[in-house]
Structure 1
């Protein structure tokens, strides 16, 4: 069967798995305030004279509905480690796409809140699998100089999924009755169908193939992706040599299990990967995405004005992420994480100050009978809150958004990468679950102080990154392993132009070519056997 060898073509299909998460975020944010949704799943009184008609689910129940997806994602991410080691990176992602289709069917057909939660939980299983294994898959195929760009494309796919699904959902708000939410929840299964069949055109991860002693297939994939069909390209030889060396080392020195992740020499890496994902949630970004209509409702926007203003942040999210795709391999990983955290803290603290100084409690029951809109602010201060929210999104999009997906798969050696990234990603989803569940009641109970909490988190993560997160950009996955074993302090690491990148670019000097030729095995059959 024909296989795509261009890394950007491979990425374009694989990251559809990331787009599934985006579809969920914006379909909920666009549908939450609509009369059709609030009346169909209503748990409170109806307001005959009010344009919103019904009070909808209670704050606690709405938190549970929203949180059911990340709850499922947490379970899916944990399961993905076993799936990817058994079925391969491609197989695990294909399983995820099938699960998404099943969950979308159930959500689309929901007759009550329990059925909706079940459908969203199943959707979450898919998102957990795909969000954990798509970055691993693309990481193991990409050359070092393009790794950040192509893995970061997962975040770009998420932003496109958010934008596209928001406008589909917004358009469907003009449909009568349950069709307003059934149509978008049904349409969201189509990308998963495309992902499932598109994966047949992609090669398997060469590192997974090597680990299962499929050396000829491994060499064929490296030739296809890095050599454009020429097995004698120097970078193909270098990659093959490094994979062989690492596989042999692992078989002689390691017992691969979850227990190894908690061994002394792996624990620091595990903590970095887990906290990269935890902090990405504690920035407050996904809360802004899910509940942006609540936030803008507090600022005095309602109806179409609220939805259109909310959509602007999704447009900002898409286009600001482009900067990361272009420059992330030059910026590295540390700088975007530190600068992004400090900028986001600034906007969060500013919003808290504006809300506290110029806002006031909303009438009983909240604005427009939406309890979560329990605080209101008007005039120029309201416009400033909206502007700071846009600036917050613009700060997150080129920094924590893509880097939180790029960074964890780079941290771990091959033998534990699938399991370690699954565990790291699961921490993302359990915190997403907690925030999705608790933020609606938090808006009701502590109002503007929610912004202070996230501002403190953003400040703490900037300090944590500076002291504990080393630079991985530009290094091969095997060189990153050496960096951790050497114990170099995080703040002394930097983006470097390594020999492997020179080989990839064809920039080796005569001396380096000679050394490389001597070091690189020339035949696939020389590979170590289990």
Structure 2
């Protein structure tokens, strides 16, 4: 929405939406995403993670067509709800799919690539919107045509089509295949992913053994996946995953994405569309260090340092606006009610804090909030638990998208203090409840969370998978799998572990 909010075409065609009306338009997409997230686990568990992503792509194309063809607020909202349904499915299942195919050593990096791709999508789409704003005399021309918003809303079909076709060339998740007892295909996928095509590579055999043991244990428990979600030992993980996604919204980042034009306008910046674009570049550039180093410095430090940094920049920005701002003297402007005028250094300080806030989120909570929930659950409930976590994300996203325009109008700078307090609460919560997960396999998360160690106490280094691989390489352990048994049954024995 941010790239079209400042155009006369959008404002005139949709009746100058502001406050609750604009909030309703914006929140219609996360509302659809909430429903999509809740439905995602059924599709992904039944049809596979890969197929779920392809279904989401088709839904997005339909939503984009409806938005581009909008003849009023009603159809625009319907199109955004439909497109949001796709986002809910994709945002739940893509990190699950990535976590299930990635080696443990780079799992954080691989899942973080989703966040980096999101930042690239935001940046590219914003500049498409910015370019389209020059149509028919520019964004300030009162007679600007509807192409200014129809072009960017139509172009967004292209990446969905690329994703739909591209997924045909990617494998199904080996853990999903194993859960459906398609062991031969699962082993072949593991061989391609982790053994260069060799299904008897020690790492492939070790991973196969880990997955097989975990699935056997889950089946012996004979507890339904829905009931398992609310068992005490698992419920705390479900709550933690949902909380991380909640805090990723309550930190205030999406406010900067949705309504940065309003913030820059209130700070007294001349060309708010151009100035706003800089933060999208920062978002892309500063996500890269997190991708490179998340598996080295860990998930826990990222969340703690991120919460503290974002809280600090929000407090500074809110304080500057409180000390130097005033009610908007332009009574015809219905978008903002508080402005900073004739204090260029203060305006620059507010803009700088906005940029630093975005930089902090991009290097910390942005990638980690998707990585952590995707890796902490056992296979049996992973899709369902991640869908609940993602539903939490979209619930708060929807609420904030709707509430922030009237909040900006009614309480102005105090809104920054509210979100600063949320970041302070997130810092305390993560310090007390979020243990480190780097370097552990998905099948070892039970050890991480059920060990009885407090979250702030470091877990023993090393991984059971590494020990298994070392034993296989030394010849101390032989692992048999269906393909191996079919080809050379006399050379393999069942492991005793």
Output the TM-score relative to the length of structure 2.
Answer: 0.93
Matched, 1:92 2:52: yes
Moved more, 76-85 or 374-383: 374-383
Whether contact under 8 Å (2:184, 2:482) holds in the other structure is: no
Deviation at 1:230, TM superposition (A): 1.1
Residue 174 of structure 1 deviates from its aligned partner by 1.1
Q: Does 1:455 align with 2:428?
A: no
Match of 2:107 in 1: 147
Equivalent in the alignment of 1:372: 336
In structure 1, C-alpha distance between the alignment counterparts of 2:13 and 2:351, rounded to whole Å: 30
Partner residue of 2:12?
Answer: 39
Is 1:206 the counterpart of 2:165? The answer is no
Worse overlay, 250-259 or 278-287: 250-259
Cα deviation code 1:17-55 (max 9, x no counterpart): xxxxxxxxxxx101011111000001xxxxxxxxxxxxx
- Report 1:80-229 matches (<5 A): 80-176=40-136, 177-229=145-197
1:482 aligned onto 2:434: no
How far does residue 436 in structure 1 lie from its aligned partner after superposition? 0.3
Shift in Å at residue 500 of structure 1? Answer: 2.7
- Distance change >3 Å, CA 355–CA 332, structure 1 → 2: same
- Conserved 8 A contact 2:218-2:380: yes
Of 33, 36, 42 in structure 2, the residue corresponding to residue 73 of structure 1 is: 33
The yes-or-no answer on 1:496 pairing with 2:461 is yes
Structure 1 residues without counterparts, runs of 5 or longer: 1-27, 43-55
Q: Using the alignment, how far apart are the partners of 1:332 and 1:500 within structure 2?
A: 19
Per the alignment, do residues 503 and 193 of structure 1 end up closer, same or farther by CA in structure 2, a change over 3 Å counting? farther
1:282 aligns with 2:241: no
Of 103-112 and 485-494, the range deviating more from structure 2: 485-494
2:197 aligned with 1:233, yes or no? no
| Corresponding residue number in structure 1 for 2:229 | 261
CA distance in 1, matches of 2:23, 2:481: 58
Aligned length: 478
Distance in 2 (CA, whole Å) between partners of 1:130 and 1:294 is: 29
State the Cα distance separating 1:503 from its structure 2 match: 7.2
Q: Is the 8 A contact 2:23 2:402 kept in 1?
A: yes
Q: In the TM superposition, what is the alpha-carbon distance from 1:259 to its structure 2 partner?
A: 2.7
CA contact (8 A) 2:18 2:334 kept: no
Q: How far apart, CA to CA, are the structure 2 residues paired with 1:175 and 1:183?
A: 10
Within 1, Cα distance between the matches of 2:459 and 2:401?
A: 36
Q: Does 1:331 align with 2:297?
A: yes
Give, in whole Å, the separation in 2 of the partners of 1:144 and 1:517. Answer: 23
If the length of structure 1 is used for normalisation, what is the TM-score?
A: 0.87
Q: Deviations over 1:312-335 (max 9, x none)?
A: 001111010000110000011100
Q: Which residue of 1 aligns with 2:320?
A: 354
Runs of 4+ aligned structure 1 residues displaced above 4 Å come to: 501-504, 522-528
Instruction: State how far apart, in whole Å, the 1-side matches of 2:75 and 2:461 are.
Output: 52
Checking the alignment, whether the CA contact within 8 Å between 1:372 and 1:441 is kept in structure 2 is: no
Root-mean-square deviation (Å): 1.8
* Counterpart-to-counterpart distance in 1, 2:375 and 2:461: 15
Q: Which residue of 2 aligns with 1:60?
A: 20
d(CA) in 2 for partners of 1:502 and 1:241?
12
Deviation at 1:425, TM superposition (A): 0.3
Write the deviation string for residues 81-112 of structure 1: whole angstroms up to 9, x where unpaired.
10101110001111100000000000000000
**C-alpha distance in 1 between matches for 2:353 and 2:46:** 46
TM-superposed CA distance for 1:493, in Å, is: 2.9
Aligned twin of 1:316: 282
Query: Are 2:486 and 1:521 equivalent residues in the alignment?
Result: no
Deviation at 1:157, TM superposition (A): 0.5
1:110 touches 1:116 (CA, 8 Å); kept in 2? yes
Residues 474 and 501 of structure 1 are in contact (CA less than 8 Å); yes or no, is this contact kept in structure 2? no
SS of residue matched to 1:496 = coil
Q: Distance in 2 between the 1:420 and 1:486 partners?
A: 21
Q: What is the rounded CA distance, in whole Å, between the counterparts of 2:417 and 2:95 in structure 1?
A: 32
Distance 1:35 1:186 in 2: 19
Cα distance between partner residues in 2 of 1:277 and 1:524: 41
The CA deviation at 1:501 is 4.8
Q: What's the counterpart of residue 307 of structure 2?
A: 341
Query: Deviation of residue 58 (structure 1)?
Result: 2.8
Q: For the structure 1 residues 285 and 453, does the alpha-carbon distance in structure 2 shift closer, same or farther, using more than 3 Å as the test?
A: same
Q: Deviations over 1:485-522 (max 9, x none)?
A: 32321111358342535777xxx4xx6844x7426435
Alignment correspondent of 1:397: 362
Correspondence 1:420 to 2:385: yes
Bigger drift between 411-420 and 246-255 goes to 246-255
Match of 1:464 among 426, 429, 432: 429
